[in-house]
Amino acid sequence: MRTRFLEFIVDSDTRQLLRDGTEIHLSPKAFDLLFVLLAERPNVVRKEDLLRQIWPTSFVAEANLNVLIGEVRRAISDNAQNPRFIRTVHGVGYAFHGTATDIESTLAAEREEQTCCWLIGSNRNFVLSEGDNIIGRDPSCSVWLDDPDVSRRHARIRIDSANRSAVLDDLGSTNGTLLGRSRVKAQTPLADGDEIRVGPVLLKFRDGTDEPQKTRRIRRKAR
């Protein structure tokens, strides 16, 4: 998880504190303290809970916690008398009260707004990413089709979320690419439900941003 507050980023995976992209040194325990406060924000974390989480197998004096708080405040240019980030709740504990954003959550929301497209094959589906999606026999292709009649780099589907478009073009394949019954000779727009034949392989294009199809009612014979 990566969390941003003003010019700072805390990366829990790499255990780094960054300020405008430059790493700021924190001792391991000080990093643990900052991470806990961010994870629990804006709630107050009691001193005894911080001691238990940061030193789970040792008994330490409260003074050690005060030292870590001081180290974290120096690293993020915070001030105990006029705090921007870490608030002291006297006799209770500490709380992170600055504005912070989990970057992964923001990215996930952005992805949800992007065009969600995929290809349906006979035995598996392929999710299409933003930008170029290469279809071919080469295992490095986004859409890998393990068929000897498919060229190594056979065709391409380009997804453009900003313009809500998807286009298909052939990459000079040996056996050609068909959209419906027409051979693809130039970039061709795709629509939800289009059938694409890559050599002998049939794929159906689905665009999740289109209006969903209504569920067809099954007509049952009266008994």
What does the pLDDT read at residue 164?
Answer: 83
What does the pLDDT read at residue 200?
Answer: 94
Report the predicted TM-score, pTM, of the whole model to 2 decimal places: 0.48
- For 115, which DSSP code? -
Contact 176, 170 (CB under 8 A): yes
Within the chain, which residues score under 70 in pLDDT? 104-115, 209-223
Nearest 10 degrees: CA dihedral of 51, 56, 59, 62?
A: -10
What does the pLDDT read at residue 104?
Answer: 61
pLDDT in tens, 54-97: 988 888 888 999 999 999 999 999 988 899 999 999 999 999 98
Measured CA to CA, the distance from residue 156 to residue 38 in angstroms comes to: 43
What does the pLDDT read at residue 207?
Answer: 87
